[in-house]
Structure 1
């Protein structure tokens, strides 16, 4: 095993395994909203006591899984680093004494805030580990065949979304002056059109920076239509879809005299549709768009042979945008589907569950 596990005491390893075998407890968006709408000291105490029990189970499950990945992925330097972060976080949470009063609760909140920061770069770091693996694999391997790795990454990232949501929600409930209609991370009257507008502007400015120009984006829908959701999650999904569409259209029309057609976003009750006329995705490529080992952009490792994992924050080229966006959609009971017409363009359908009754999917 790797150096750190040798350093990690046998007791710690045993305890991680013991907690990893315990049952996780899922929470629904509706429950988080109702519970968080009264962030009294008593409710914050109950929330902290729940997290004190729940977080070590979720963190331990991932730490254990990180040790037994196929094709030697567990031994890649970037993956070892991620596993160390999980072990440290497990140790921090488990060594925190029982939470009995509001002073304990405030100390606990500071500690889990630090845990969340420690894990900020988990996605690019795991991506780096997968790239390190790809460099060593036989080039004849068909990436879709690496099913176990895809399934592991789906579970791993879904779990990460849940852990960050639970910590972020608890921390945000301490905000003395929350924005109107917000309960922690949840906006009880989120306007998808508003969020889509902001996400599109962000994506468009990246396209302008990269190509010097960008197609227009037309958004259709009623800005007054609202429902409870987590705006940061929706922003991330729309940003990713629009960024892909802008890139496809921009590259399709780069050397053409024609004006690039706009990217369209249609917000209907409970559904977002992002469409582009960027030439579509070849049928052979469609099966790959939700895999973690595929990207149409350049592999960021091809330029630098030894990237310092500490400084890796780029996401383009890791091929992670779409699969992770789909997990965000599924986290609260929605889904993301891509339908493409080769030679014409692509439609992405983002279904969001409005009732918020679905439990978190617990991998």
Structure 2
């Protein structure tokens, strides 16, 4: 019996009350001591201002912020899983996720106050190990939710997975930001008292250019489609117009993921509509609009639109008519992570144009199997996952389909970087 299942056995059994009367919490309830602790959201502006002048004192302060936040945020999600109905607990995929989270919580909550750079280096090793162990969380989470869709109310599982994924992004953001700051501090080219002139502060790209992201993400999507079809003639052109010099602070990999998934969808739709004809495929139009508070990227295609019976399920992880096929395809993807750092693989970068090359900031590949998947390996999670990413930094993602003609997608991004990460600040089920 797993720890996840043992928790429920104890919760409903006669010994659960006795454990409390003996003055100590069972190991499975240790997370409840942390659920009362508040989560402290952070903004992109705070991330890059804090790291611009990176001293030893600031690095240690960052380490202790992460040291407090990671187990607190894990505890809230453990609590959410502990509140699931028992019939859901028996699912082996969700049980695997719980075991990974519980192990990480138990490891990270025991880390003492960090006082030196050497202690921080050891802590970074623990964080890195945890990130690698969690590569299989997303496929297990999505598969588990899909398998449980007939056991509980679908909306309950929809809310659950959205909360879990958004929280997962939040943990990886603060963990990877601190790892990047530590790498910067340890670099022989780092001068602690000098303000950094780098384009990156940790994982944050200070002047993220929408045109460059669209260009390289589009080239990658085109290359993957070209490889699948062995044809150049069927690949639609991507035209970019509007405010081409618009920049904003952002985590590059987040925007690459969203834009890459949207362009992949448009390319596939146009190719399918054009299949069997000799006509040139219609281009995909990308318009970039800059306003004082935000930037909007509109992606328009003439791929025939979305069938009416599919539209109600576009933003759902577990609803819709094609879940059996989604399950089969998800099982082919062994590991995924929420940062999507390798959306642009090395081979794709070699084939891409260097006219507007993006600055390099890459960690160990964690989503290569997803980002390089064949175009016909459809997971049914690109749009809902993209919306989770867009809303995480207080943006939005909307889609308008004209059946028989095409689709317009609008991605709105907060331009100033002053919006806090959008996460649940306490265990979602306890908050109602």
> Structure 1-normalised TM-score?
0.89
Aligned to 1:38: 53
CA contact (8 A) 2:43 2:420 kept: yes
Aligned to 2:124: 109
Aligned length: 353
Deviation of the 1:85 alpha carbon: 0.7
Aligned to 2:276: 255
Query: Structure 2 CA distance, aligned partners of 1:350 and 1:206?
Result: 23
Aligned to 1:275: 300
Alignment CA distance shift 1:112-1:72 (3 Å):
same
In the alignment, structure 1 residue 217 sits paired with structure 2 residue 238? yes
Deviation of the 1:11 alpha carbon: 3.6
In the alignment, structure 1 residue 245 sits paired with structure 2 residue 270? no
Deviation string 1:30-71 (CA, Å, 9 cap, x unpaired) is: 111110112211101001111111111101111221233358
Query: Structure 1 CA distance, aligned partners of 2:84 and 2:267?
Result: 36
CA contact (8 A) 2:146 2:323 kept: no
Query: Structure 2 CA distance, aligned partners of 1:211 and 1:99?
Result: 53
Deviation of the 1:180 alpha carbon: 2.8
Deviation of the 1:311 alpha carbon: 6.0
Larger radius of gyration between Structure 1 and Structure 2: 2
CA contact (8 A) 1:58 1:159 kept: yes
Deviation of the 1:245 alpha carbon: 0.7
In the alignment, structure 1 residue 197 sits paired with structure 2 residue 258? no
In the alignment, structure 1 residue 299 sits paired with structure 2 residue 299? no
Query: Structure 2 CA distance, aligned partners of 1:7 and 1:309?
Result: 29
Aligned to 2:168: 160
Alignment CA distance shift 1:100-1:6 (3 Å):
farther
In the alignment, structure 1 residue 338 sits paired with structure 2 residue 399? yes
Aligned to 1:3: 2
2:114 to 74, 93, 99: 99
In the alignment, structure 1 residue 350 sits paired with structure 2 residue 424? no
Match of 1:249, SS state, is: helix
In the alignment, structure 1 residue 289 sits paired with structure 2 residue 289? no
Deviation of the 1:301 alpha carbon: 3.7
CA contact (8 A) 1:70 1:148 kept: no
Deviation string 1:277-297 (CA, Å, 9 cap, x unpaired) is: 111013332221000024869
Deviation of the 1:188 alpha carbon: 0.8
Report matched runs for 1:221-240 at 5 Å.
221-240=242-261
Match of 1:97, SS state, is: coil
Match of 1:356, SS state, is: coil
Alignment CA distance shift 1:309-1:223 (3 Å):
closer
Match of 2:423, SS state, is: coil
CA contact (8 A) 1:219 1:266 kept: yes
> Structure 1: which 5+ runs fail to align?
none
CA-based RMSD of the aligned residues comes to 2.6
Deviation string 1:190-215 (CA, Å, 9 cap, x unpaired) is: 11110111111111122223333422
Q: Higher RCO, 1 or 2 (CA under 8 Å, sep at least 6)?
A: 2
In the alignment, structure 1 residue 149 sits paired with structure 2 residue 157? yes
Deviation of the 1:328 alpha carbon: 1.0
Report matched runs for 1:320-331 at 5 Å.
320-331=381-392
Alignment CA distance shift 1:164-1:36 (3 Å):
same
Deviation of the 1:256 alpha carbon: 2.2
Deviates most, 162-171 or 97-106: 97-106
CA contact (8 A) 2:35 2:75 kept: yes
Deviation of the 1:260 alpha carbon: 1.3
Deviation of the 1:23 alpha carbon: 1.4
Query: Structure 2 CA distance, aligned partners of 1:19 and 1:228?
Result: 32
CA contact (8 A) 2:142 2:161 kept: no
CA contact (8 A) 1:279 1:342 kept: yes
Query: Structure 1 CA distance, aligned partners of 2:176 and 2:329?
Result: 35
Query: Structure 2 CA distance, aligned partners of 1:297 and 1:277?
Result: 26
> Structure 2: which 5+ runs fail to align?
11-24, 190-195, 337-368, 425-432
Alignment CA distance shift 1:295-1:51 (3 Å):
farther
Deviation string 1:93-144 (CA, Å, 9 cap, x unpaired) is: 012222122221111122112112222232122122133335xx38xx9xxx
CA contact (8 A) 2:73 2:171 kept: yes
